[in-house]
Structure 1
Amino acid sequence: MEKQRGTAECPGHAECNMDVLDDGWTVVSAAVSEPMTVTESMQDRIVRVTADVQVLLEFYDIDSSPSQYDRLKLFYDGELADLGRQPFESYSQDEKVDYLLLKNYLKRAKGRLAHGRARDKEFEAFVEPFAAPIREWLGKRQRVDEIDPKAIAGSFNEMVGIISQSREYIDKNAARYSKATGYRAARTVASLRANLNGLFVFYKGYDPWFDWWVSEPYSRLDNALADIADYIRGRIVGMKPDDGETIVGDPIGRDGLLTDLEAELIPYTPEELIKIGEAEYAWCEAEMMKASQELGFGKVWRDALEHVKNLYESPGSQPTFIKSLVDQGAAYVKKYGLVTVPPLAEEGIRMYMMSPPRQKVNPFFLGGTYLQVSFPTAEMRHEDKLMSMRGNNRHFSKATAFHEMIPGHHLQLYIGERIRPYRRLFATPFFVEGWALYWEMIFWNRGDFFTSPEDRIGALFWRMHRCARIIFSLKFHLGQMDAGECIDLLVNMVGHERATAEGEVRRSFNGDYSPLYQAGYMLGALQLMKLREEALGDMSEREFHDAVLAANEMPIEMLRALLLNRKLDRDFKSEWRFYDSLS
């Protein structure tokens, strides 16, 4: 997109360079003639960048718009340039880590921005003709420019016709577009429609001329946007209107995965990571066979798994049972001095029940700030009740309770809100989810927590699940598996109930999770296990675990550099091969 350059007076500055975007937005590039004299610490810089990005996203809030893209790119470019002028060599190790974390964050944000822009261009032929004029009006509303109600009414009326032309184009060219492209296009139209409703509500009732001119053409435009979004889903994606069951997802491709892996400081290819998932799965399956033999099922571990699934709590008793497991995990780490547990962290644990609609996306109980217990309600279908109870049985739950609460996510979040909270900008599933699964490995290795074969099968089910997550999520984003095949893999490879497998895949690909999120559980845990091996000896287990929590969120290789005091330079590149068994 071409931009017009100009110079204008800006309050508070002697002179600023101003970019006038082609959809009417004006942004300031902050070329200030008298630079600020205040020197920012790295911590203050990260806090400021966090707040600045929030302001930009709240103001330039039209997703996929050129104005949002250009303004964010301008910000990221400016921050990277200024960061490069900072005296890295004079920094402490903690400051060097913060510098590299911020640099990595800004580069990743730029990369994601460019990647998203390129993908949006795939459907601009049938969306941009009506999206561009809508965005112009949205820009005027956000800036609170004067608008002419008659003009906006005429524009809305014209766009209804343009949408009809887009529908004709789609009808003739649908075969050219992938389901993923159609899925993104429909989501973009839905988002645009929501923004347009915000504009209408802003003026309606407050400007009588607006109501008189705009109400009728807006209503037709709103309906036309809803219809074209449904038409895109039906004609390109193959979804019926109001279809809440079909899972499509949005694969990012190999290049997208490599970009994200570089940002996570993981020097492996997607194919290598899939091999790690397969190797870990093979270990789990061998252990499953051992536990199965102890229960009298021979090596047919799926029969043993079915036995364990049927060991569930009766209706009404699940909450107290889950609470007993949470207490057991906290008592265990305190008894053996494995990590510091602040009394308030344990005292403040709360519990809620998960609604049936929520269980369709999250079939298992969850934790973190508080506990969410997944258990069927009286109104659920008989088959769904059984699948929910089997999926949240006693022994699956034992391996999940401490993962979600103490020493897992609840403790992690408690400390993260109190020590170096500014680093939460650098959130990564390899740290967040890796930490919780790491404790499952620690408890397993100690040999006195998962003592019965049923307990071990419950723990192994989850480890197999995390191995499968690496395989199905990466293969999905590589374009090697679709959502249905991912569901089948979880059922056949791990032994999921089909309903819980569908919920898992829906949650993985509905847009709420980053492409590497599901792979982050097992891979992050393996990274922490390797780091533990390198760190113990110079520090105790408690010291190591407390140091990990106190460092707060970051890619594990950067955590390694911090804890082991590794030499860092401003052009740090990831080289840590944390998995020894990969051939």
Structure 2
Amino acid sequence: MVSSSTPRGIALRYSHGDDIRERIERVKEDLKEIKRFYPITISPRRAKRLYDFFDQELSALGDQPFDVYNQQEKIDYLLLKNYLERQRRELDLDCKQNEQATPLLPFAHIVVDLCEAQALGSPMEPKAAAQTLFELYVEANNLIDQITANPVQFQIGKNSAFRAANAVQSLRGHLRDWFKFYKGYDPLFDWWVESPYNSADISLERLAAFVRETLVGIEPGNENAIVGQPIGREGLLDELLAEMIPYSPEEILRIGEKEFHWCIAEMEKASRGMGHEDWHQALEEVKNDFVEPGKQIDLVRGLVQEAITFVEDHQLVTVPQIAKETWQMFMMSPERQKVNPFFLGGTSIIVSYPVGSMAHDEKLMSMRGNNIHFSRATVFHEMIPGHHLQFHYNARHKPYRKLFDTPFWIEGWSLYWEFLLWNDDRFKKTPQNRIGMLFWRLHRCARIIFSVKFHLGQMSPQECIDLLVAEVGHERATAEGEVRRSLNGDYSPLYQAGYMLGALQIFTLRQELVETGAIPEKDFHDRFLQGNRMPIELVRASMIHQPLSRDYKPSWRFYDLS
């Protein structure tokens, strides 16, 4: 109950604040439940239910009393609105890409209808189900025969064919779950369905492999092929809008290229400090400075402590005691190193280093790719003050905002610290250390270039790999792992660009607020972390108390392209 001495406006404001936070948490759970109940991503019923959900939530959000919210509540409102609009646009793109793959999925409705009927509790008639599965078997085999006889008829594009092959494998998994649900429970089901199900399952497996080999060009047994799904210029514009980046894809490329040239100039300076005129030679020397087998763990532990001591001694950011004492280390498997050739971090650090079972050339490439000087920059990026510290704060300050995950905030923060440590003369750096730091910075510039050009249809995966090898100095194995991770669909299209662009945003905001004396440096970093995940433009709006409207559009030009 509100006391009689409490101003009514304040009580009202807090009640609305609770409402917007609760709305965010409810939307997260509702969306999770819908996707769990309709797990087949190519299902028309699933798409319609999601469209209805997004439209209803956006309409209801528009009825909220935006003007009575305080600044943080307005930011929550804009974050939720942006999230829902983005989810709807991504659904549009998914439906469009699914439609392009439909010539290779004429039987998809059979699996979808069977699985969704089971989820909805509709009666299942074993004899009819057996006939349906027999028809699926026949249709899948006929499709293979049609493609074999006239492959030109099915030239829908390598990317769409790859999407179709993955969809077939997914449908096969959903059909297996459907079969297991009834098997052994209904004797008539086993009698009627088991044989046609087994035939259908084999035909789907055969079709997926056939499409991958014949239409995508992936050799049998090659599980490491890189294909990807370009989203085009319009798709990139949608992604940039969602990340609140008021630049075109072409301007983003110019930023990446401008920063790339800066890195090369600095590489040449550092190389001369090592006695080399060619920075590639200096880089080779650095890459061969690695620890012996069994010593990488000690290296990492020492680097973590070095970073913690530096940021605390110079009062750069608050490092809670729990964050310092509870981090853990794990070793990355050889299989995972094919996708993640370098360290990973967060709640723990996962260290890349070769194991005895790896081939000799793979061992050398892994050791060179995780040398002492690359590792120094990587450990600070992954642990403290980077991702480990971020995740510690994320779990304790406005945790509901984790829904608004963005690489510009997550990856931008860690790379931003690489910028700061580069500029800070108190952080001791040999020329070899500088080469190691510049390698990663150059790598992040290249990520902008190859990821944007890939989605614009201007670079193939192989050309992306060649760029990293020839222009950045990657080992070919690590370059393949980086491109595979970037393009295989597990990351958002702008994820790789988010490292450098997010870092540039935070660095510019620091210049605006810290270097002018408006906010002390430690407070700036603490406030950034305590705000939790969001587009950096809204971090800026929060820190400068920028007036906001419910129809707010991004406008912050954080980088000078002149």
Question: Structure 2 length normalisation: TM-score?
Answer: 0.95
TM-superposed CA distance for 1:161, in Å, is 1.1
Q: CA separation of 1:301/1:160 partners in 2, compared to 1, >3 Å: closer, same or farther?
A: same
Shift in Å, 1:100: 0.5
1:330-345 matched pairs, under 5 angstroms: 330-345=308-323
Q: How does 1:425-464 map to 2 (within 5 A)?
A: 425-464=403-442
- Cα distance in 2 for partners of 1:82, 1:379 equals 58
TM superposition shift of 1:126: 2.8
Q: Which residue pairs with 1:354 in the alignment?
A: 332
**For residue 248 of structure 1, what is the amino acid of its counterpart?**
V
Q: Distance in 2 between matches of 1:175 and 1:71?
A: 31
In 1, distance between residues paired with 2:18 and 2:138? Answer: 53
Q: Give runs of aligned pairs for residues 169-188 of structure 1, distance below 5 A.
A: 169-171=146-148, 172=150, 173=152, 176-188=155-167
- CA deviation string 1:340-367 (max 9, x = no partner): 0000001001011111001111111111
Letter in 1 for 2:453: K
Aligned-pair CA distance for 1:501: 0.2
Amino acid at match of 2:267: M
Letter in 1 for 2:191: W
CA distance in 2, matches of 1:420, 1:145: 42
Cα distance in 2 for residues equivalent to 1:241 and 1:147: 37
Partner-residue secondary structure (3-state), 1:242: coil
Task: Please name the residue that 1:193 is paired with.
Answer: 172
Q: 1: distance between equivalents of 2:154 and 2:36?
A: 36
CA distance in 2 between partners of 1:124 and 1:381 (Å): 41
- For 2:468, give the aligned amino acid: L
Cα distance in 1 for partners of 2:533, 2:17 equals 25
Which residue pairs with 1:572 in the alignment?
Answer: 552
> Is residue 551 from structure 1 mapped to residue 528 from structure 2 by the alignment?
no
1:18 is matched with none
C-alpha separation in 1, matches of 2:326 and 2:192:
55
Task: Pick one of 313, 324, 332 that aligns with 2:291.
Answer: 313
Alignment pair present for 1:160 and 2:133: no
CA distance in 2, matches of 1:79, 1:242: 45
1:160-179 per-position Cα deviation (integer Å, ceiling 9, x unaligned): 11112322443424563111
- Tell me, which stretches of 5 or more residues in structure 2 are unaligned? 1-14
* DSSP-derived class of the 1:352 partner: strand
1:266-325 Cα offsets, whole Å, 9 max, x none, are 011111111111110111111111111111112x00000000000000000100111100
Equivalent residue, structure 2, for 1:130: 107
Q: Does 1:504 align with 2:504?
A: no
Q: 1:377 to 1:81 in 2, by over 3 A?
A: same
The Cα offsets for residues 3-44 of structure 1, whole Å up to 9 and x where unpaired, read as xxxxxxxxxxxxxxxxxxxxxxxxxxxxxxxxxx99961111
CA distance in 2, matches of 1:39, 1:556: 22
Instruction: Name 2:126's counterpart in structure 1.
Output: 149
Cα distance in 2, alignment partners of residues 126 and 132 from structure 1: 12
Structure 1 position 229, deviation (Å)? 0.9
Once the two structures are superposed, residues 112-154 of structure 1 have per-residue CA deviations (whole angstroms, 9 ceiling, x without a partner) of: 0011101111121230x21012111001111232201111011
The answer on whether the counterparts of 1:284 and 1:463 sit within 8 Å (CA) in structure 2 is yes
Structure 2 match to 1:27:
none
SS in structure 1 of the partner of residue 107 of structure 2:
helix
CA RMSD of aligned residues (A): 1.3
- What SS does the aligned partner of 2:338 have? helix
Q: Residues 174 and 389 (structure 1 numbering): CA distance in 2 closer, same or farther, change over 3 Å?
A: farther
Distance 1:53 1:218 in 2: 32
Alpha-carbon separation, structure 1, partners of 2:393 and 2:412: 16
Q: How does 1:16-415 map to 2 (within 5 A)?
A: 41-127=19-105, 129-171=106-148, 172=150, 173=152, 176-298=155-277, 300-415=278-393
Is the 1:126–1:169 Cα contact (8 Å) retained in structure 2? Answer: no
CA separation of 1:38 and 1:308: change in aligned 2, threshold 3 A: closer
TM norm structure 1 = 0.92
Residue of 526, 530, 533 corresponding to 2:511: 533
The CA distance in 2 between the partners of 1:372 and 1:174, in whole Å, is 47
2:17/2:69 contact within 8 Å kept: no
Aligned residue in 1 for 2:10? none
Rounded to whole Å, the distance in 2 between the matches of 1:288 and 1:174 is 51
Q: What amino acid maps onto 2:392 in structure 1?
A: Y
SS at match of 2:212: helix
- Which amino acid is the alignment partner of residue 252 of structure 1? I
State the match for 2:447 in structure 1: 469
Post-superposition CA distance 1:477-512 (Å, at most 9, x none): 110000100000000110000000000001111111
Matched, 1:488 2:466: yes
Against the structure 1 CA distance between its residues 403 and 222, is the aligned structure 2 distance closer, same or farther, given a 3 Å change threshold? Answer: same
Q: How far apart are 1:514 and its partner, in Å?
A: 0.6
Instruction: Provide the C-alpha distance between the structure 2 equivalents of 1:90 and 1:149, rounded to a whole number of angstroms.
Output: 59
Q: How far is the alpha carbon of 1:231 from its aligned partner?
A: 1.4
Counterpart contact for 2:104–2:161, Cα < 8 Å? no
Distance in 1, Cα, partners of 2:456 & 2:154? 21
Asked if the contact 1:363–1:500 (Cα under 8 Å) also holds between the matched residues in 2, the reply is yes
Q: 1:175 to 1:217 in 2, by over 3 A?
A: closer
Quote the Cα distance in structure 1 between the aligned partners of 2:165 and 2:154: 16
Asked if structure 1 preserves the Cα contact closer than 8 Å seen for 2:103 and 2:154, the reply is no
Q: After TM superposition, give the deviation of residue 245 of structure 1 in Å.
A: 2.5
Q: Which residue of 2 aligns with 1:11?
A: none
Distance 1:571 1:38 in 2: 19
Q: What secondary structure, in the 3-state scheme, does the structure 1 residue paired with 2:330 have?
A: strand
Which secondary structure does the structure 1 equivalent of 2:479 belong to?
helix
- SS of structure 2 residue aligned to 1:371: strand
Does structure 2 retain, via aligned residues, the 8 Å contact 1:450–1:456?
A: no
CA distance in 2, matches of 1:546, 1:174: 59
- Residue 172 of structure 2 aligns to a residue whose secondary structure is helix
Q: Is the 8 A contact 1:174 1:236 kept in 2?
A: no
| Residue identity opposite 1:75 in structure 2 | F
Cα distance in structure 1, aligned partners of 2:262 and 2:102: 47
